[in-house]
Each structure stands twice: as structure tokens, then as C-alpha cells.
Amino acid sequence: MCKAACEQRGLFGLLFDIDGVLVRGRTPIPAAKECFQSLLERNGSFRVPVVFVTNAGNSLRQTKAEQLSELLEVEVSPEQVVMSHSPLRVFSQFHDLCVLVSGQGPVVEVAHKCPLPAAQIANVFSVGFKNVVTVEMLREAFPLLDVVDHHRRPKDTIPPSKELPPIDAVVLFGEPISFGHGMFLVCLESIYQKITGRELSYEALIGKPSVVTYNYAELLVRQQAERLGWTQPVQRLYAIGDNPMADIYGANLYNRYLKAAHRAQAQTDSGGLVTGDCDDAKGSGRVMVGASSPHNLPESCSSILVCTGVYSRENQDQGEQRIFHGHRDFRFDPSLTQPSFIVQDVKDAVELVFKQEGWAKE
């Protein structure tokens, strides 16, 4: 019954930011619980594809899904959660390499395939790297790296260095303890250029506002739609967030990417020459890993800004935003901070989407 009804109405998916939209710390925002009841069938399953997209990276998807299930009183699966590191699952070309991982929280568990009985279950909770070296392992192997740290430097004779395999790639899951992630990258880039004389080059940047992150979220939306029995591709995405520089910028950047992909496909189908690309998306990665065929991509991604978190109608005028605190490789475009819609809270956001799509609130 859901399949037939859905195909008569709009086929859409929802992307939810978490902090400032659904919760504040460990406390649910009152409107969140109420609005999620309208997204559920009578049996407790979701009526439409729903994905939670967060820039947090210090936990497993399973842990975040369990937290959301408890706070929102709905059943959230790990397949509905995109952590900052989740898109690394599609970078399979690096999974067999020896990678140095840095960050806080269970970085080894996040990086590895978890030692669970069923491989298909294990893949849900990890990003798939098989040969991992942590900063702690590096410190133990080369104690003189911390010689300026009085607490860690050797007190007596210097022990011989332990053998470590050659490191093929570096993965930054999150910031070290003493830095925010953005500040850490600025320092890393500056030091690298000072020592080598070259600019540090990234294979990919993930986390909002990266297009790679939205490509991965779209993949999860598509998989959910298939499980719901939808035979037609999802036509529209709605990204709900509270931060103009992350949630809104990212959703609008992805919308621009979608438009460019469809234009390029239309030119190819008509035998014309493809003349352009989405330059803004290039900072997200050298290759749009995990992207769908343009024929299956959504038509658009609309951004909905709520006023329960970072953004406040009274205190912020995004039209005057001129200082960009994003990463070096993202070109700042002030127009991308302008949302498609502004509403008070997530309940209003969901009601707006239902109205746009012709869905009844149940």
C-alpha cells in the first residue's frame, strides 16, 4: 500500500542534521519527537527515506544510532547515520593500504572492520581499513618524536624503535585533543609547506559541506527507498540544518552539483559537448567517489534552515557574511549560505516538506 501511495505522490528523502536540529547536547528538542511520529508508519517503520548527517566523528555509527533511538523514541539503524568518517567506506582503493589514523574516540574500531561474527554486520559499523597505525603506535615506535613533551620523553636510555610498516596514506578522523579540526588543518598545511616547500594536497575532504558526504548520504537514501519498495528513483532531497556555513552551504553546494551533473548528462544524451563542471565540488575530492549515475541522481537538494541552533533570525544577517572559516580547498560563495526555506524548528520543516510534496500528515 505504501509503495502505490508513494508513487502517486512525490518521491523524496530527508537529511537531518543532529545537534541544534534534533537535540541540544543530550536533550531532545521538543519539536523533534513530535515531528518524527509523523514520519512513521503504524508498524514503527519510516514512511520515507531518512538519513542523519553529522560532522561528529568520535564514535561508531552503531553508537550514534542507539543514542538517536533513545532520544527520539524511534528505531534508528546504523544504515541511516552518516558520521564525518562514514563516506570513507566507498574509498575502497585505500582499504588494503597501511594508513595512519588520527583523531579522538575509538579510531581503531572506526577504521577497522569490526571483529563481529557476520561480515555483513561488521561492514555496517566500520569504514573498512585493514592495516591501521595509530598516532599512539607511532609514538611508541619513535619516542623521540615527543622529546619536547616532558611527560612522554624517555627518562633513561632511548629504546630501539619498533618496526612499523611503511605508511601509504594518512586519514584524519577528527581533531587531536588540543585543537579544533579546522585549526589543526591550518597548522598542518603551514608546517608541511614550511618543511617541504610544497602545498599539502588532499585526496578528499569529507564531512559537511563536502559533496562527497552528500553523495554518500544520497546512496543511503537510495538504498532505503529500495527497501521501501519504491520502483522510481528519489526525485528530491531536503536537507534540514541549523548552521548556514555547514548544513546550508553543503546542501546548496550539492544542489549545484546535481544540476551540473544533470546538465552534463543531458548534453551527452543529445550528442553535445560537455562544456562545464561544478568547480565548487572539486574541493570535496579528486573523484566523486560513490556518486550515482546522473540518471538516478535526485533532481534537487533543497536546504531548510531552522532557528533552534546556531542560526538566529535576530542575531545573524547572512547577507553580510564575508569571512569564510571553511577549508582552504572550498571556494567561498556567499550565495550558498542562503537557505531555500527558513522555519522555526524541525517540526515546521517536516510539515513544509509534506506540503511541498503533497503528503498528508499522519
32-91 tens-digit pLDDT: 998 998 899 988 899 999 999 999 887 888 999 999 999 999 999 999 999 998 999 999
DSSP code of residue 167: P
pLDDT of residue 2: 54
Report residue 124's pLDDT band, with 50, 70 and 90 as the boundaries: very low
pLDDT of residue 116: 36
| Contact predicate 242/20, CB 8 Å | yes
Question: 12-86+207-268+294-357: which CATH topology?
Answer: Rossmann fold (3.40.50)
Q: Which of 30, 46, 27, 29 is nearest to 38 (CA)?
A: 46
pLDDT of residue 330: 84
Report residue 281's pLDDT band, with 50, 70 and 90 as the boundaries: low
- Of 273 and 151, more confident: 151
The predicted-structure confidence for 149-177, as pLDDT tens digits, reads as follows 777 666 666 666 678 899 999 998 877 77
In the chain, % of residues over pLDDT 90: 52
Name, of 49-53, 167-171, 183-187, 315-319, the range with top average pLDDT.
Answer: 49-53
pLDDT of residue 327: 83
Where are the chain's structural domains? 12-86+207-268+294-357, 92-172
Q: Which of 198, 210, 193, 209 is nearest to 91 (CA)?
A: 210
Q: What does the alpha-carbon distance between residue 189 and residue 180 come to, in Å, rounded to a whole number?
A: 14
Q: Please provide the size of the chain in residues.
A: 362
Report residue 312's pLDDT band, with 50, 70 and 90 as the boundaries: confident
pLDDT of residue 242: 97
Q: What does the alpha-carbon distance between residue 16 and residue 82 come to, in Å, rounded to a whole number?
A: 10
SS3 124: helix
| Contact predicate 258/34, CB 8 Å | no
- Reading the block at residue 82, the C-alpha cell is 552518516
| Contact predicate 336/253, CB 8 Å | yes
SS3 351: helix
123 has a pLDDT exceeding 70: no
248 has a pLDDT exceeding 60: yes
pLDDT of residue 25: 86
Q: What does the alpha-carbon distance between residue 36 and residue 230 come to, in Å, rounded to a whole number?
A: 21
- Of 236 and 126, more confident: 236
Q: What does the alpha-carbon distance between residue 204 and residue 282 come to, in Å, rounded to a whole number?
A: 9
Q: How many CA atoms lie within 13 Å of 96's alpha carbon, on the beta-carbon side?
A: 1
